[in-house]
């Protein structure tokens, strides 16, 4: 999935965008993308989710999507840390 350095970078970027809570990452469907899953209701609280996605894409060199928790993600995501 992600290296320890990438995990640290992801956590730092989320924190720099105002989010320091629980974070999960979806199991890899494709090596060229990553999906980060936030607890229900937290996605709306991000300052600028699109800017965070762009920063994550630049850091990870992959397509990135940030989603809110839902039944669709409950069995497909694991804690980032």
Question: What pLDDT does 13 receive?
Answer: 96
CB contact at 8 A, 33 and 3: no
Q: Categorize the per-residue pLDDT at 1 as very low, low, confident or very high, splitting at 50, 70 and 90.
A: confident
Residues 36-81 have pLDDT tens digits of 999 988 988 888 999 999 999 999 999 999 999 988 887 788 888 6
Tens-place pLDDT, residues 8-48? 999 999 999 999 999 999 987 788 999 999 998 898 888 89
Domain ranges of the chain: 4-79
pTM as predicted: 0.90
Determine the topology of domain 4-79 in CATH. GMP Synthetase; Chain A, domain 3 (3.30.300)
Residue with tokens 């937290």: 42
Please tell me the predicted confidence (pLDDT) of residue 37.
94
Q: Rounded distance, CA 72 to CA 7, Å?
A: 23
How high is the pLDDT of residue 5? 95
Tell me the C-alpha to C-alpha distance, in Å, between residue 14 and each of 4, 29, 64: 15, 22, 13
Helix axes 49-60, 4-16, angle to 10 degrees: 160
């Amino acid at each position: 999935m992600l290296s320890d350095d990438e995990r640290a970078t992801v956590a730092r970027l989320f924190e720099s965008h105002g989010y320091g809570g629980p974070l999960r990452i979806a199991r890899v469907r494709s090596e060229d993308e990553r999906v980060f899953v936030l607890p229900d209701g937290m996605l709306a609280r991000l300052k600028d989710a699109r800017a965070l996605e762009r920063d994550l894409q630049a850091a990870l060199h992959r397509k990135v999507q940030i989603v809110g928790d839902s039944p669709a993600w409950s069995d497909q995501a694991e804690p980032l840390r």
